[in-house]
Every structure is written in structure tokens, then in C-alpha cells.
Amino acid sequence: MDELYHFGYPGRAPEDLRRIAERLDATVVDIRYSALMATESRWRGAALRELLGDRYVRCIALADHAGCEARLGSISVIDFQIGVEFLRQIDGPMILLCGCRDSRRSHRAAVAQRLWTEHRWDSRELDWEDEPMFLSRTEEPYSVLRKCELAHHC
């Protein structure tokens, strides 16, 4: 498994995502329930496909029925196993994209957690707090503290 990242875009520019995808030589995997519903048109699927070209794919199988900012217990990924098979077909690093700013309240964190638990696929949240190209990583993937945060903030 190549490197796996996850990213929420509110307050950010698609051009920044393009730059980091190019830097990582990564495919952006849109796991939103609907790529048409972004409040900013520049984050809609068609705009991202135009900007990113072959670096952009959609995987609705890993979308959450309830949409982002889901509450604890309500995260219901459409078809996790089909999503895993889709990801396995992508060569190189991947960035899971969703529309939530806070990964602790997003289904992308739940997907990343499940990928770690069931398949030992390590992932990193793209952290843009300090500078747009900074990548954060915990020493241990989804440590006990991180699991606790997910359990209380999903």
C-alpha cells in the first residue's frame, strides 16, 4: 500500500490541493456523498476534475450516508469493502477528500481508522494549520489518544 492521506477543504484553495497532489504524485479520491453539493463551485466534482485531470477520482462507496459532520454512531459508509477494492486499484499515494474542516467530526477519519484497523493501512491527515504544505503524522498510527478523540468527536 502506498501512502494514504486525508484532507478536508473548507477555507482552502483547490490550487493548494493540486500543488500538494503533484508534490506527492498522489491521486485525489473524492469520498463525499455528492460532489455536486459543495457550497463553493470550485470544490464541485466537475471543477476538481478540470483542475486535477487524471489525479481526480470519485469513490462513492466510501461516502457516508449521512454526509459530513456526522455524530457518533451515525457514520455509515456506503460499501467499505468495495471502497477498499477501489483503492487497491490506484497506483501510488492517495488523498481522501471530504468537505469537513475538522477530521475528528468527519467520516474521513472513521474511514482512515477502519482502513488501519482492518487492513493496517497507515494514513496521515494533511495539516494546514501552520503552512499549506505541512504534513502531520503521529508516531503511532491512530494511537490510543487519537482513537479516544474519534470516539468522542465523530
**Mind listing the pLDDT tens digit for each residue in 98-134?**
887 766 767 788 888 889 889 998 888 876 553 444 4
Identify any residues that bridge with 57 across adjacent strands, giving them in sequence order.
29
- Integer-rounded Cα radius of gyration of the chain: 14
* CB atoms inside a 10 Å sphere around CB 78: 15
Instruction: State the residue range of the domain holding 148.
Output: 4-153
Could you say which residues of the chain have pLDDT below 70? Answer: 1, 35-40, 65-74, 102-103, 105, 127-154
Q: What contacts 140, CB < 8 A, 6 or more positions away? A: none
Distance CA 75, CA 53 (A): 30
* Three-state secondary-structure class, residue 32: coil
Please count the structural domains in the chain. 1
Cα-based distances in Å from 24 to 47, 75, 120? 21, 29, 21
- In degrees, rounded to 5, the angle at the alpha carbon of residue 46 between the alpha carbons of residues 122 and 11 is 60
